[in-house]
């Protein structure tokens, strides 16, 4: 990994930063991969069968590489390192290649179909126009179904508007140049497998270039696309004025820091170990590895857990907070909340995800610990409704309800509680009469 990176003014339209994209394209981060992929055409003169087997694999690897670049740039790394990429799995790489194959097969079917031949040009125009939006959507959702959703495609085009339209023009221009200028010249002057190597090298290079630009557009519109809500995407200020060199921020080290901050210790450790295996001996990575090991060997105490859960609830990460408490109870450990205000959102989440097993433990002695707290009546009402679903505990539920009505007659929820309780009595009476 290098220690220098180029800072780019990302406020500019991508066409004004093309020199940066081309400079990255001819760097050692990309060029050796493309050269190796293109050399697969050497096999063609010797065995068409073997080439037919290898070529789809190579194409998959090219699209995986291109999508790695797109995702890394969308995260804010304007000079992505593609030796590793922990954001894009091979499964997603396959999805990207399948999308490209689906579009090409549909185009081929229309061209060969006499019935629909009149629509060939329309399909080519439409598919060319929406394909970038489909790839961008796939980068955000990792789902082909969502990526092909017309509503999602429309939103991406609408939100990136001018940049998107200019990019489509650029995309079409590169396709035209390859198909009508470069390839005819190569096929005229070189043998088949040589022009295959050169043509594929150029096509792969332009594919990487276009995917890098798509990532750049996504980063420019990161707030509109909601990238800050997706784990691994960063919204730090990379809108640099001018172009200058500075110490590189290692994207993979930043990813480990993010995982440690989110207490994803096992993932952080696995990533640190993998980077070390691949030759990263930097002091920063060693420090991160030691922090991860320390967190793994020294789990937080009760007070630290209470603080952590409280912070998560304040940050509206209720699911994560609830999961921590649920795991504690599953392992027969106790939990003491930091604040009375932490209980209500935990109870509501437990009901919403139908994990009500430990609600009584979450609520333990709430009225004694926090007398006259504003959430007391609502919390016990939530608990009573859950308990009532268990036929064996219905008397316990009724007792809670009666205590709420008697002890908190002026609470704003008492009217609702009385109505609910009266409804239970009517249902029970009706059932007993049958």
Shared domain check, 50 and 96: yes
Residue 426 lies in a domain: no
Shared domain check, 273 and 209: no
pLDDT at 188: 72
pLDDT confidence band for 62 (50 / 70 / 90): confident
Shared domain check, 99 and 22: yes
pLDDT at residue 324 tops 90: no
**Residue spans of alpha helices (H) in 262-413:** 265-277, 283-297, 302-314, 318-330, 343-352, 359-362, 366-369, 376-388, 394-407
How many structural domains is the chain composed of? 3
Eight-state DSSP code of residue 245: E
Residue 212 lies in a domain: yes
Shared domain check, 346 and 275: no
Q: Could you tell me which of 230, 221, 106 has the C-alpha nearest to residue 155?
A: 221
Q: Which domain holds residue 283?
A: 250-297
CA angle 317, 136, 176 (to 5 degrees): 170
- Residue 108 buriedness (CB in 10 A; 0-12 / 13-18 / 19+): exposed
> Which range has the worst mean pLDDT, 22-26, 140-144, 339-343?
140-144
Mean pLDDT, rounded, for 243-266: 69
Residue 372 lies in a domain: no
What is the SS3 assignment for 311? helix
- Per the rule left: phi > 0, alpha: psi between -120 and 50, beta: everything else, 365 is left
pLDDT confidence band for 381 (50 / 70 / 90): very high
pLDDT confidence band for 242 (50 / 70 / 90): very low
Last residue within a domain, chosen from 229, 259, 286: 229
Last residue within a domain, chosen from 297, 317, 333: 297
Shared domain check, 187 and 154: yes
pLDDT at 208: 86
pLDDT digit string, tens, across residues 212-234: 888 888 888 877 776 544 444 44
pLDDT at 45: 59
pLDDT at residue 118 tops 60: no
Mean pLDDT, rounded, for 87-97: 54
Shared domain check, 148 and 58: yes
Residue 412 lies in a domain: no
Shared domain check, 352 and 308: yes
pLDDT at 106: 67
Residue 424 lies in a domain: no
- Average pLDDT value over all residues in the chain: 77
Shared domain check, 125 and 83: yes
Residue 234 lies in a domain: no
Shared domain check, 287 and 195: no
Residue 32 lies in a domain: yes
pLDDT at 93: 57
pLDDT digit string, tens, across residues 386-426: 998 888 888 898 999 999 999 988 888 889 999 988 888 88
Shared domain check, 79 and 159: yes
- Provide CB contacts within 8 A for 198, sequence distance 6+: 38, 186, 190
Last residue within a domain, chosen from 345, 364, 383: 364
Shared domain check, 108 and 95: yes
pLDDT at residue 251 tops 60: yes
pLDDT at 345: 92
Shared domain check, 152 and 66: yes
pLDDT at 338: 86
Residue 51 lies in a domain: yes
> Which range has the worst mean pLDDT, 49-58, 166-175, 367-376?
49-58
Q: Could you tell me which of 318, 305, 310, 317 has the C-alpha nearest to residue 341?
A: 310
**Greatest mean pLDDT among 50-59, 158-167, 262-271, 372-381:** 372-381
pLDDT at residue 347 tops 80: yes
pLDDT confidence band for 122 (50 / 70 / 90): low
How many other CB atoms are there within 10 angstroms of residue 121's CB atom?
Answer: 11
CA 237 to chain centre: 19
Q: Could you tell me which of 127, 162, 128, 139 has the C-alpha nearest to residue 215?
A: 139
């Amino acid at each position: 990994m290098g220690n220098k990176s180029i800072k780019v003014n990302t406020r500019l339209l991508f066409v004004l930063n093309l020199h940066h994209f081309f400079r990255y394209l001819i760097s050692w981060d990309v060029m050796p991969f493309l050269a190796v992929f293109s050399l697969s055409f050497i096999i063609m003169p010797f065995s068409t069968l073997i080439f037919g087997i290898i070529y789809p694999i190579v194409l998959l690897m090219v699209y995986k590489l291109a999508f790695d670049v797109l995702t890394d740039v969308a995260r804010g790394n304007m000079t992505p390192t593609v030796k590793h990429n922990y954001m894009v799995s091979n499964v997603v790489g396959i999805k990207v290649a399948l999308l490209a194959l689906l579009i090409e097969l549909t185009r081929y079917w229309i061209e060969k179909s006499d019935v629909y031949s009149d629509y060939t040009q329309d399909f080519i125009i439409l598919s060319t126009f929406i394909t970038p939006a489909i790839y961008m959507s796939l980068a955000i959702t990792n789902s082909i179904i969502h990526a092909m959703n017309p509503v999602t495609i429309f939103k991406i085009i609408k939100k990136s508007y001018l940049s998107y339209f200019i990019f489509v023009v650029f995309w079409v221009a590169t396709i035209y140049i390859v198909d009508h200028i470069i390839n005819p010249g190569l096929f005229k002057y070189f043998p088949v497998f040589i022009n295959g190597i050169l043509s594929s090298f150029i096509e792969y290079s332009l594919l990487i270039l276009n995917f890098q630009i798509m990532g750049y557009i996504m980063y420019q519109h990161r707030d509109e696309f909601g990238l800050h809500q997706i784990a691994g995407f960063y919204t730090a200020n990379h809108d640099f004025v001018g172009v200058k060199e500075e110490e590189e921020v290692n994207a993979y080290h930043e990813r480990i820091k993010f995982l440690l901050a989110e207490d994803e210790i096992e993932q952080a450790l696995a990533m640190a170990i993998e980077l070390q295996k691949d030759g990263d001996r930097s002091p920063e990575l060693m420090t991160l590895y030691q922090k991860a090991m320390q967190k793994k060997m020294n789990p937080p105490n009760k007070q630290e857990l209470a603080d952590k859960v409280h912070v998560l609830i304040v940050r509206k990460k209720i699911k994560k907070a609830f999961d921590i408490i649920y795991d504690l109870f599953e392992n027969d450990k106790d939990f003491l909340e930091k604040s009375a205000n932490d209980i209500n959102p935990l109870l509501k989440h437990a009901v919403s995800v139908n994990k009500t097993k430990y609600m009584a433990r979450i609520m333990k002695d709430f009225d004694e610990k926090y007398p006259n707290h504003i959430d007391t009546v609502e919390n016990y009402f939530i608990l009573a409704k859950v308990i009532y679903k268990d036929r064996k505990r219905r008397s316990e539920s009724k007792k809670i309800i009666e205590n709420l009505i008697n002890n908190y007659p002026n609470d704003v929820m008492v009217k609702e509680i009385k109505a609910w309780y009266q409804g239970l009595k009517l249902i029970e009476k009706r059932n007993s009469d049958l």
